[in-house]
Every structure is written in C-alpha cells, then in structure tokens.
Structure 1
Amino acid sequence: MRRTTATRGGGVLRILFLSVCVVTASGQLLGGNPASGAEANADSGVSSNIHRQLETFRWSFGRESDANFDDWPDGWRRSRGHRHPQYVGIAIAAHDPAFEQQCQNLDSAVMRVWPKLRKQFSGLPVLPPSIADFLVDRYLRVDLDGGLAMVQSAKVNTSGLYQYRFTARVTTQGLRHDHARVEFVFYDASGKEIESHATEPVRGTTAWTKLVVNNVQPPPAATEMCVRLIVDGAEDGLEDIRGSIGFDDLQIEPFPQLQLVTNEPLGIYPYGRTATATAIVLGLPTGASRVHFRLFDVDGNEIKSQLASIEPNAASSEHDEAGRTTAPPTTKLDMQVSWDLPRLPPGFYQIAASLEGQNLSSLATETTLAVIEPLPGDTSPGCFGWTLPTGDRLPRGGSHRDINTSEIQTPRNDYHERISPRELVTWLTQLGVDWVKYPCWVAPDDNQQANRVAEIFTRFQDNEIQTVGMLDQPREDQVPLYDLRSRREVVASQLFRDAKIWQPLLEPVMTRLTLKVRKWQLGSDQDFSFLGRSHLRDSINNISIGLQGYGQPLEVAICWPWSEPPLPESETSWQAVCRSGSPELTADELDAALELHQHQQSQSDGPDTWVLLDPISKTRYDRDDRVLDLVLRMATVRKHRVEAAFVSNPHDEDHGLLNHESRPDVLLLPWRTTAQLIGNLRQVGSLRLRCDAPNIVFAAANRAVLMVWSNQPQEEILYLGENVQAIDVWGKTEKLPVETYENRQVHRIKIGKLPLFLVGVDPDLLAFRMSVDIAQTQVDSLLGQIQPIDVTFANPSRDGLAGTMRIRGPEAWSFEQPSIEWELLGGSTTNQQVEVVLGNNAKVGKYELALDFELQTVPPKRLTVYRNVTVGPTGLELKSTTRILDGGQLRVEMEMINHSDATQSYDCMLFPQAGRQYQRRFITIEPGQTTRRDFYWPDGAQLLGGTMLLIAREQDGRRILNYEIPVHQ
C-alpha cells in the first residue's frame, strides 16, 4: 500500500519538479538581484515603453531577499535603542503559514525521492529546488511588545534625470496608539540624509493597502536613496503592547522627467508681457519626436495649441553607468522646447505639455500663470494680507501630474527656495498684499538671517506694506534651549513661560527689528495656547516689556478662537487680537460673529480686530462656490471695524491661493481683485435692483464700487455714471457702453454667479439711488379715491442740488401731479407727496413704480429708480390655484388670509371667459384665519391658458378688489 502510494506520489513529483527545474533555469536567466528588476509595475499608469530601459528597485521579501535563510532581508538594518528595543519581533513571515507548512512537507517528500530522480535525469542539481521558496508569498512582519520599530533597506543609486514613484503595501492588526508608515529617503555623496517623503500613516486594523508617493524629484545633491519602514507611537507618548504590522511589495520606479517652466518663475505676468513656456525632458525616452503644448482659460476651454518638434541635437547630455549625468550642472538638459504664448488678456491660465512620438505613450505635465493689470482705485493701503509661515523660503515643488490616482497617494514634500528681498516685495505688491505676517524667531547668533529679515522689513516699509513680526517658534536646533517638557509644548505660552530663558535668546534680534516693526504676534495663527492662562493680562504685559527692550513701544497681538468670547478691556493688555476658527465661518456667520465681537467691546476701544480668511476646501467645494464664499467673506470684513484680514498660509494645498510651486492657483486672482478694489473702502449698503440680484455698495470719500452677483443669469439696466467699468473676479476689465433705453441713458449689466465689480461709478449718483424710498409699501384698493404716496430721497453731496421727479405707474393709475420740482441743501433729505387715484379696473397685486429723476447738474443727470408697491387691503392676502379634475371639470380654489385684527367679509364674483356664467361666493375671514372657497366649471380644458377675473366687494365697506387668476393645468 505504501509502495503504491509512493509510486503514485513519485509520478506526481516527477511532473512537478520537471516544471520547477524549468522555472529554476528561467529564474537563473532572469537574475536574482534582491533589490532590482527591469520590469515595470503593470498598474503604474505609464506605459513600460517609456522607461523600459530604466531600473526598477523592488523588495518583495521572498527567498531572493533572504539568501542565508535567517528570516531577515539581506542588506537591511534595524534601528536599535531605547525607543526601538531589540525584543520587538521583526522577521520575514509567510502570508499563509498553513500553505507554507504544506510546501515544506512536500519539500521533505521530494528530498527522499530526489536521488532516484537524479539517476533518471542526470542534469538535475545535487539538491532539489525548494517548492516553498517558489510558491510561498512572504512579507516583513513586526510584532509589537511595547516598543517601536524602524527598519531600513540598503542604499541604491539615484539620478537627477528621473522622477520617482514609490509604492508599498501595508497591513495593520489591532493598533490603538501606534501607526505604520513608509519613507522614501535621499542621501548625498557623504551619506547625509537630505530629504525624505512619507506615505500616509496606517492605523487600527487595516487590510493590505497600497500606498503611493508620486512624482518625487531627487534633490540636486542626492546620489543614493533607500526605503525606511517605521512603526511610531502616538503624539501623547502612548505605545501599543500588542498588535502587528506587515510590509510588502516595496518598489521604486523611475520615469523620465517632463518639466514645464515659464520665463516668469512665479507665473505672474503684467499685461502685455510675452509669456514663454519651456518643456524640459530629463531622461529623454526613445521615440520622442515632439512636444504638444496646449493653453487653457480659467474654465478649461482650449485657447491655443502648438506642436513643437524636437531637434535631433536637442538631447545633448551624457550619462555614466549609474544613470547620472556627466555634463556640467548648467547643461543637465536632455531636451528643451519653448513656445511663445499669444498675447493674453488678464486672467488665470493653465498650460499643458505632453511628450509624443512613435510607439510612445504620452508623458504630460502642466503649470499655471496669471496675467494681471493695475486695477482702478487709490493707492492707499487696504486691510487684506498674507501670513508667510516660511518667510522668504517659497515652496518650489515639482509640476508633474499624478501617474495613478486610484490608490492612496502622498504628494512629494516640496523643497523651499529663497527669494530675494527685492523679488519678494515686488511679487507681493503685484498681488495686492497690503499686510504681511512674517516669522522672526531668529537664533541669537544667526546674524546673516537677522540682516536678511531686517532688509525685508525695510523694503516692506518702503512699499507701504503693513508688517507684523510673528514670533511663532524658534529654529529646530534652538528648541532644546527653551526647557520645554515635550515637543508638544512648542507653543507661544510655553516658549514665553520664563523670561530668564527667552529674553536673552531674543534680545539680539528684537533690538534690531523693533526699530522697524511695531506690531508683533505671539505664536502662529492657530496658536491659542494663551487661552485659559491665569493672570493673562499681566503675562502679556510682561512679555511685551521684555520684547521691547530699548526699542520703541510695541503693539502685541495674540490669537483667539471664535468659539470663545473676547475678554473685557479691563482684562487685556494686548493691542490686537486675531480671531479664527475651524471650519471657516460663512459670510453670514462671520457677519454675526463680528457684530457680536464689536458689541462686546462697544463700551471701550479694546484691542484691534484681525481675522483669518482662508479659502474653503478645494477637495469639498467646486471652484465657483469657493470664489463666491471667499469674496463674500472679504466683503463682510469691510462692513465692520476690522483692521486686517489674513490668509494664514497662501501655499496650503487645500485652503490656499498658490500651488506647490508658488505659482497661481485658481483663487489667487479673485483674492487679488477683491483686495485691491474694496480693501480701503467701507461697505455702506446695497441697491434695490429690478432683477433682485444681491449686491453690495462700497464707498469712500470720492470713490465707490458696486459688487453684484446672482445664482441665476440676470440682466440689469440702470445708469451709474459716465465712465463705468466692469471687472470680473479674474481681473479682466471691460468698459460698459452707455446706451439709450426708454429715452434715457443706461448701462446694460450681465450678472452671473461669480461677483462682478462695477468701478468708476458716480458716488453721489449711487448714494442718491440708495436714498430713494417710498413710505407706503401698500396702497389700499379704494377705487376712484385719492390716496397719498410719500417719496423720500436725500442729497448726498455737500453742495445744493435741484431737480425734478416724475412718477409713473400702471395704466389704471392716475396721478394728480405726476411731475414735481424740488431743491435740497447739501446733506439734507426731503419728502415729496404724490396723490394717486386707482381706476375702476385697477387690480390688486404687486406693482412697480418708476421714479424718473432729472438732476440739475453740469451736465444734467437723468436716472430712473424703481420701487415696489402692493395694492390691496392692509392685512389681506389672496391666493389661487387651478386644476383640471377627473371628468374634465376645472376647479378654482380661492384662498383668503386675514393678517389684520378685524373681521373682513367680501361678496366674490368670479368671471370666466366671455360666454360663460360667473359664479358667486360670500366669504368671511376672521382675524388670523384662512378661508378657502372652490369654484367649478365643466369642460375646463376650454378655459386653459386664459385668465379669470375675481371682483370682491367689501361688505359694509368701500373696497373693491379686482384680482386676475391665470388658468393652468
């Protein structure tokens, strides 16, 4: 029995191991470098023919990664120390231990019959290949036991010619405090770590998840790179004593770099300057023959495109065996092709470039630019500004499109590049930044940085940029000097806890900078650490005195959340408070919060008010909603006594104005346009427009701006002055022509969802329009009787003003004196009474009265103002509905609502079209009640599309209500 079984098993093994031997031979031909492979990942999203000759580095923790069978990946090393104890288990393990055991049992069985197989097949090796080695899928497993772990691969070569995509698979089991992540690390020639990029952390219990870090460009000094696996604890210091983490399928894939740059590095172009886009390809792939440029407007519409051929001599750099360029740094270009863009009007644009050629999938990238022009208005500073958390070090990251967006991805950590003080100030001035918060916590021995900050502040002052020195946190290597208990305490209230520590460290820089800047903020914009601190008034006062030294008196600001009421003036010693919260308040919420804030401080001057105005999330809201929200909140600020309003981080990926290259993002121009047009104006009210579009009027002594928008497309016809211009949020200016409408001059204004700014409007004319009102919002339905209408308006100028007023209404209305002459002293108001008689056919409802004014100015100004008046008894509301019932009957439901304090009774007669008998109902409506009556007509379809007339005569009264009812299905 056993022999038979063995014979049958031997036959199976022969077949199996002949296959294994073939696989073994194939594997020997393929090679077994544990950290490399030539094939591309199939799901990378980029065709392998782009990088078929590029080396991909891969660690899958199979047998090829553990040649000495010690369950540890060859060439890897683990961190050892207090936080990374040796007893934390780290080893290569099988994904399926049961399957691994079965394979090992089979290996044992094969070993017993292998000598017989060798006699039959002389070419077989002395020892059989391991089935477990070929079939068992393994990974690196970390078993927690109250410690953390960090493991690092061997270093491999990198090249500045390529961008890299890093992928890893991670699983976690039973984590409560710890988290796992993978880092992609670069080193320079001396072995010093110069940059790292981390995946998103994985917590809790998570199935195998693929993590991606896309589009990583090596730092200029990088020569080597490696992978680092990390298990880290919680911020509060807690660590898991049980749980496990798995890492597998680590891979570094190189791709050719396609960069798109412009002749203005920050992408800001004054109107009229030619923009040149240059596509740069590093690691030029075989077959590339042309670059396809495309230019898009802010709505994504293609404006222009250009196909540029790659010249044969464009690829000029040479590479060594490691793939590094051997040309001088100034010639590290495989290829570059440029395109001079057409002349562009002001606005936001995107440029896309793609590499094309024979048998070549597209490699694409894009960048942005903004064309700006000076906007009308005076040059006095406004109230809007930015916080620059990194000072003059601007993010200058890669500009590449993500390769694959179907997995959890982490963008590359952008590096920061210094910008010269002159360029920084020019850039901020171009963008309409009138206030800047600038980090100033300089080490006491860093004279170079102190000199640089002092130069920047001088240039800010020369360009009338209001400056706030921000003492947020010291340099990394200076933090231990402040005697903090933990890294979590790097906040203003703790850093300024002991004057004996911080004062000597800050005195050198403050002695220099306080001569240039008076306003100083303690902590970053979201640092609320002073909240709840005892004796806060005395603490801030002592800090202010300590910072002042021998300089001029300082104005100190602290940050305070909207969720907390401001302290009374008697408990404050600071001169400004910066209010903010998360999530961002809407415009209405901000209006209410500022109203409450100022009411609470109405009894005294109190600290000046600053606010943070960060755009709402890019990932949660569409473009138009974000633009409208930001502009309305900026407009709300101009309604209240707010000294300054800041964007806390213009480079924020989700809530900023700039992208990761410090180039324009889509909200930059709406912010700039709004800041420059209304930054030094006050919100004074709104106009009542015929189209009912919401609007806001901003004004100063000799200038006014009207901002208007609407959820639905609208058109408004009105006259605003002789030289009116319309400016959209993208900064594009269009002169509004004056046209003739109903024998008067008007402007025709197209209104949409995004705010439109009307500038050059006549401030006095706008104020006059706003002052016009009608005292009576309702005219009683007393047909044939004289009733008064009182029209009030004001002279907004300092000089006397005279003119005429003519009132126009429906045809059934007649006015005893339709035209009235008037004369007003400067700043005075008048009330002009007009008598109106409603004819017998006057109907109840809402009507528009036209008030035609002619102002006796030089030249004369003519304008029409429209106001609405309701005709009907005070307190009585009429409603009607019609419906065709089964059987063809038409039902008319009449509803009367009595809002008055008196009972009302009416004799109601409803007249259909000619040829049909009217119907009559008596209706009595008690105070506060609603009464309904139904009327029925046969063959209702014949009445559809027409109107019925309801005549309701008041019982024991003089009112007659004529009410039209349209007949609908």
Structure 2
Amino acid sequence: MSCFSSLLILATLASPASEDRHVDAVEIFACDFVKNDRNWDLNYDLWPDLWSRRRSPEWPHYVKIQIEDDSEAVAGRCMTVHVNGAGASVSSPPISVSDKFSYVLEARIKASGLKHSQTHVRVDFCDVNLNVLQSASSEVFKDTNGWVKIHFDPVNITNPNVEIATITLQVDRGEHVDLKGKVSLDDVWFARLPRMTVHSNSPFNVYTDKNDVLVTCELSGILEKDPDIHFELLDASSHSLKDNTVQLDGHLITERISKASAIINSTKNRHRGYAGKTQWKPPISDYGFYRVQVSMQTARGTLKEQTIPIAVVPPIETSSHGEFGWSLTSDHIPLSYDQLERLLPRVAIHWIKLPVWYGNSEPERGEQLVLFTERLAAKDIEVVGIIDKPPKDLELSQRIEDDATIADLLSAEEPSAWLPSLDEVLTRLSLRVRWWQLGNDHDTSFSDFHDLEQEIGNLRSQLFRFGQEVNLGIGWPWNEYSPMDLEATWDFEQRSATPALNEDEIATYLQSPKRVDVARWTLVEPLDRRYYDLETRTQDLVQQMLACKINGADGIFISQPFDDNRGIMSDTGAPGEL
C-alpha cells in the first residue's frame, strides 16, 4: 500500500448541520446508518448493509461492531466498535470515483475509554481490483470528549488507474490492550469537487525572460460549461499589478462508471461535469518575484482559487568558479536531476551537495547520478557527495538508531557492515565526484575524536583505497578549536552552529586563524517565515551572504533551499519570496 498523501485536518466540535460543506460539491455517498437514500439495515441484524470488516490477528472477529442508538447522532443511530483487547477495521462499500475530480470527506467520530488504542478514518483510492494506489488519513484520536467532526481537505487523484474509493474506520491496539472503550462513526459524507490545476510553462517557475512566462489553468468536473476565469498578477507584497478575465469554453466529460453490483455509483444525483483549459501571459515589466492568482467565478461567487509564484531573474554571466552552493542533504528533492540541471546555472550556483549512498534496490540511481554529475561538470558546477544515512535495504540501517551519527556508522561499526555497500557507490562516482563529505551539514560527531587525524586517515584509505584523487571533508562546530599544529587528513570542514549564526558571528569566526590546507565552508540559514516578516528575513539573508563573502569563506551553502518555511524555494520546487 502506497500513501501519497496524508491530508487532514480539522477536528472540531461540530453540530450535525452541514452548512459549511462545499457549495460546488456533488454528493456521491452518504451514510447516517439509518436512512439517506437507502435503509442501511434492511434485515435488522444491526450490521450496516454493504459495509465489510477485515479479519486478522490484529482485527479479530470477537470485537463487536454494530449499529447502536445514540441520541446525539445525526439520525439517532451510529456504527460503534466495542474495543475488547484488540483492534478493528471496517470499510464502506466500494464507491465509483474518477481522476477528473477532487474528492472531500466529512464524518463524525466519537472515541471514549481508550488509553492505549487509537483510531482514525481513512479514504483509500483503489484500482478496479481494490489494490490501494493512494490514501488520505484523518488525524489519530484516543478520546474525543464527545462527537467531533472530521474534514478532509480536497484530495486530487494522482493515479489514472484509480476507479474505486473506500472509507475505513480503523482502531489499532497499542502496546498494552484496552479491555473497554468504544469508537463510533456517524454522518459519513463523501463528495466530488471540481478539480483545478494551475501551472506555468516552467517546472520550477524561474525565468530569465519575462516574455516567456505563460500560466495555464486547467479545470475538470465543473458544473457550469463556461465560467469566468480570473487571472491577477501580484507583486512580492501581494499588491495587484494587472488582471484579466476570460470565459472558459468547457466540454462535457465522461466518467468510467463501473457496472459491478457491489460498487456504489450514485448515478441518480450525479450532475454533468465539464472540463476546459485557458492560458494567460502576465504582463510582467521588470525582474522580480511575483504571484499569479487564478480564480473561477460563477453565479454563485468565487468557487476555486489557486496562486503560483513566479521569479524573473536577469541572465547571469557565470564564471568557472564560485563559492555559492545549495545543500540538498535531506531526502526531499522536489525537482528531477534534469530540472535541477536547468535551474542551477540560472541562479548562479557552482556547488551542490547530494546524498549519494544508494542501495541494491535502486541500481538506476547510480547511472542517473553519473549522468547528472557529468552534465553539471560541463556547466562548471561541482557535486559534493554526502555519505550519511545507509540505504534502507542494507542490514545496517535496520540496527542503527534514527539519530545515529556518521561517526556511529563508520567508526563504531565494523567496516564489513558498510564498506561493501559504499564500494559500488565510490567506484562508480569517484572519477566524476571529486568532493566527499562525511555526514550531513550539522553532523560534527568526528570533531570530538582524540586521534582524529589517524581516524580520518584510516577512513580515507578504506573508502578510496583504489587511489582516487578526491577531497574529503567533515563537519566541525564553529565554537570548537581546530588544532593548527597537526597536519589534517581531511581537506575541508563544513562549519555549523546551533542555533544558526548571525552575520556578526559569522564574520568573527571567519576572521579567526584558519587551519593550513583545510578549506572552511559556511552555512547560510534563512530565518523561519513563521516567526519573521519578509523584510527581516531578506535583510538577514543578504547580511549572512555578505559576511561569508567578505570574510573569505571558501564555500557558502544555502541550507535546505527547498523548504516552505526556511528555504529560498518551496517544498514543491517553486521560487519562494527570498
């Protein structure tokens, strides 16, 4: 089972009223365990008709699940799981869905008496054979103190093979069992929504020519054939610069409706859905950061709205060498290697740090890294290979703690546990990657070693025993002394501090004596947008970069560039305000 999204997200005390439901939603499934458009217990056995339960050692048959009276339920009845030392999983009948729409779920849940167990509601999107391809889950509950409402943000289906959805109430036992406790479900409502996708003609929304910008709005599942689509160009301060409204010329879309009798199609109340696409070239007059806000206007008001960021930067004449780089030491890299290759020269980046320790289960990654480093070398961009967390298919990764340092891995473990896996990586990449860093940017675990020069020398001999000419680096805290009287067996130190340094502190440390033949690399760490305004963040970023440049840092790396809160780009790879 693959979980592409875990979206959730409001759980607030709520009455049965549904006035807050989406005005453009089309209901496709509803269950209050009494009526709606069907009787949910035709044979009066207290089991909700068409619902099913899974049976396994985790979810045994003796856990009682039934329809029960509840004066606070929407229609006076609900489905209740009686926890009896185990868990339970009960699912709705299969519901026909389509990738042409978004989907939203609302329900009410009540949990009481749970001390160790926990419960959640989940929507699984499946293929015709009920293989789960995508999921969305609510938050986890233990005690709700009465009924609470669960509301899922709209879910876009990302796999075209999805045809069916099921709604599941799941109760999982903890390390200790709960002999008593109840979980109840009520007022399940599942609906489709129009799907809006807004994108530019660039995978990362960064341009060097303002006339190249083209914004596309694609709509599917809308109820009106020709709604107005409103485009608005905003500056970095969200002030409106230009706008334009076009009328969409939609076409009727068809849905794949399953004919299987067990699948709920809800064709009786299904409205026609329309789809269409329109584009706009925003009249951008100068370089800078912009947003394009796109909304759908109908007789019922503004029903859909999305915003995308756009950055227009001047063409840069790059030199063959520079100090500035990006550190992509985490697993989250939203852009492909092809897209990074196009983006990095536009933003004057000469260095990029990448995690390169891959396992046997992903042999294609080695070839991708080789091609990527070759193409970057042709553009005078150096790759720094990060040796950090071992691949998940390596036995070593199952034994170590999540917070294990690089010293824990390479010095505390026997070489036989990690060297064979790294050999393939190093043999394949070391002819093209000339710079290697042990650990992530804040991992300074080697700096405390008593015989550090000998330790790193031994590791260098083991890792690069075939005579590769490489530069090896380790993490080093700014507030620790690096001995000047000993010959280092490493070539650079990635300096870091927690909390991050300001510009004055960076300048002070860089002006201190430097170890002979050891380069000093610094981190530039932007302030968190949740706690600082844009002007403060911008000023701090510029001052950090200037302090590094003026005071002779050998390498200057932006930490976590793809981060919504602290990065210069967003989690999705689009430009941020910085």
Give the TM-score taking structure 1 as reference length: 0.49
- What corresponds to 1:215 in structure 2? 154
CA separation in 1, counterparts of 2:118 and 2:498?
Answer: 26
CA separation in 2, counterparts of 1:247 and 1:639?
Answer: 64
Structure 1 residues 436 and 283: alpha-carbon distance in aligned structure 2, compared to 1, 3 A threshold:
same
Match of 2:27 among 49, 55, 58: 55
> What do the CA deviations read for 1:850-900 (whole angstroms, capped 9, x no partner)?
xxxxxxxxxxxxxxxxxxxxxxxxxxxxxxxxxxxxxxxxxxxxxxxxxxx
Structure number with greater Rg is: 1
Contact kept, 8 Å, 1:288 with 1:355, in 2: the verdict is no
- What corresponds to 1:901 in structure 2? none
> What do the CA deviations read for 1:264-290 (whole angstroms, capped 9, x no partner)?
232112134332222110113225432
Shift of 1:197: 3.4
Residue type at the aligned position of 2:217? A
CA separation in 1, counterparts of 2:440 and 2:101?
Answer: 37
Residue type at the aligned position of 1:194? L
Contact kept, 8 Å, 2:223 with 2:274, in 1: the verdict is no
Is 1:248 matched with 2:185? yes
- What corresponds to 2:233 in structure 1? 295
CA separation in 1, counterparts of 2:563 and 2:452?
Answer: 32
Equivalences for 1:676-695 in 2 at 5 Å?
A: none
Match of 1:381 among 281, 301, 321: 321
Is 1:482 matched with 2:396? yes
Is 1:42 matched with 2:14? no
Is 1:630 matched with 2:545? no
CA RMSD of aligned residues (A): 4.1
- The percentage of counterpart residues that share the same residue type is 24
- What corresponds to 1:263 in structure 2? 201
Structure 1 residues 95 and 161: alpha-carbon distance in aligned structure 2, compared to 1, 3 A threshold:
same
Shift of 1:253: 3.1
Match of 2:434 among 499, 518, 522: 518
CA separation in 2, counterparts of 1:90 and 1:572?
Answer: 68
Is 1:225 matched with 2:165? yes
- What corresponds to 2:564 in structure 1? 653
- What corresponds to 1:924 in structure 2? none
Residue type at the aligned position of 1:565? E
* Structure 1 residue runs without a partner (length 5+): 1-38, 101-131, 325-331, 396-416, 668-969
Equivalences for 1:441-840 in 2 at 5 Å?
A: 441-444=357-360, 446-476=362-392, 478-479=393-394, 481-482=395-396, 484-485=398-399, 488=402, 492-493=406-407, 495-496=409-410, 497-527=413-443, 540-559=456-475, 565=480, 568=483, 573-580=489-496, 583-591=499-507, 594=509, 599=512, 602=513, 604-605=515-516, 607-667=518-578
Shift of 1:151: 5.6
Contact kept, 8 Å, 1:186 with 1:223, in 2: the verdict is yes
CA separation in 2, counterparts of 1:658 and 1:316?
Answer: 38
CA separation in 1, counterparts of 2:82 and 2:504?
Answer: 53
Residue type at the aligned position of 1:347? G
Structure 1 residues 386 and 483: alpha-carbon distance in aligned structure 2, compared to 1, 3 A threshold:
closer
Structure 1 residues 559 and 231: alpha-carbon distance in aligned structure 2, compared to 1, 3 A threshold:
farther
- What corresponds to 2:268 in structure 1? none
Match of 1:159 among 80, 98, 102: 98
Structure 1 residues 91 and 334: alpha-carbon distance in aligned structure 2, compared to 1, 3 A threshold:
same
CA separation in 1, counterparts of 2:504 and 2:143?
Answer: 39
Shift of 1:219: 1.4
Structure 1 residues 573 and 244: alpha-carbon distance in aligned structure 2, compared to 1, 3 A threshold:
farther
> What do the CA deviations read for 1:236-264 (whole angstroms, capped 9, x no partner)?
xx835458574635544321111112222
- What corresponds to 2:256 in structure 1? 320
CA separation in 2, counterparts of 1:603 and 1:134?
Answer: 75
Structure 1 residues 661 and 440: alpha-carbon distance in aligned structure 2, compared to 1, 3 A threshold:
same
Contact kept, 8 Å, 2:63 with 2:87, in 1: the verdict is no
* Structure 2 residue runs without a partner (length 5+): 1-15, 259-263, 266-272
Structure 1 residues 259 and 482: alpha-carbon distance in aligned structure 2, compared to 1, 3 A threshold:
same
CA separation in 2, counterparts of 1:463 and 1:643?
Answer: 20
Say which structure, 1 or 2, has more relative contact order (CA 8 Å, 6+ apart). 2
> What do the CA deviations read for 1:336-363 (whole angstroms, capped 9, x no partner)?
1112222431011111111223345432
Structure 1 residues 589 and 183: alpha-carbon distance in aligned structure 2, compared to 1, 3 A threshold:
farther
> What do the CA deviations read for 1:14-36 (whole angstroms, capped 9, x no partner)?
xxxxxxxxxxxxxxxxxxxxxxx
- What corresponds to 1:881 in structure 2? none
- What corresponds to 2:351 in structure 1? 435
Shift of 1:516: 1.0
Contact kept, 8 Å, 1:60 with 1:139, in 2: the verdict is no
Structure 1 residues 555 and 157: alpha-carbon distance in aligned structure 2, compared to 1, 3 A threshold:
farther
CA separation in 2, counterparts of 1:219 and 1:652?
Answer: 22
Structure 1 residues 141 and 62: alpha-carbon distance in aligned structure 2, compared to 1, 3 A threshold:
farther
- What corresponds to 1:782 in structure 2? none
> What do the CA deviations read for 1:429-467 (whole angstroms, capped 9, x no partner)?
112222211121222474432111101111221112121
SS of corresponding position for 2:133: strand
CA separation in 1, counterparts of 2:303 and 2:378?
Answer: 49
CA separation in 2, counterparts of 1:281 and 1:431?
Answer: 33
Contact kept, 8 Å, 1:149 with 1:231, in 2: the verdict is yes
Structure 1 residues 527 and 95: alpha-carbon distance in aligned structure 2, compared to 1, 3 A threshold:
farther
CA separation in 2, counterparts of 1:287 and 1:56?
Answer: 21
Structure 1 residues 166 and 503: alpha-carbon distance in aligned structure 2, compared to 1, 3 A threshold:
farther
- What corresponds to 2:281 in structure 1? 340
- What corresponds to 2:10 in structure 1? none
CA separation in 2, counterparts of 1:267 and 1:664?
Answer: 7
CA separation in 1, counterparts of 2:314 and 2:246?
Answer: 30
Equivalences for 1:22-171 in 2 at 5 Å?
A: 41-44=18-21, 46-47=22-23, 50-51=24-25, 54-58=26-30, 69=45, 75-78=51-54, 80-81=56-57, 84=58, 86=60, 91=65, 134-137=75-78, 139-140=80-81, 142=83, 145=85, 153-167=92-106, 169=108
- What corresponds to 1:424 in structure 2? 340
Shift of 1:623: 1.7
Shift of 1:208: 5.3
CA separation in 2, counterparts of 1:554 and 1:379?
Answer: 23
Shift of 1:386: 1.6
- What corresponds to 1:917 in structure 2? none
Give the TM-score taking structure 2 as reference length: 0.79
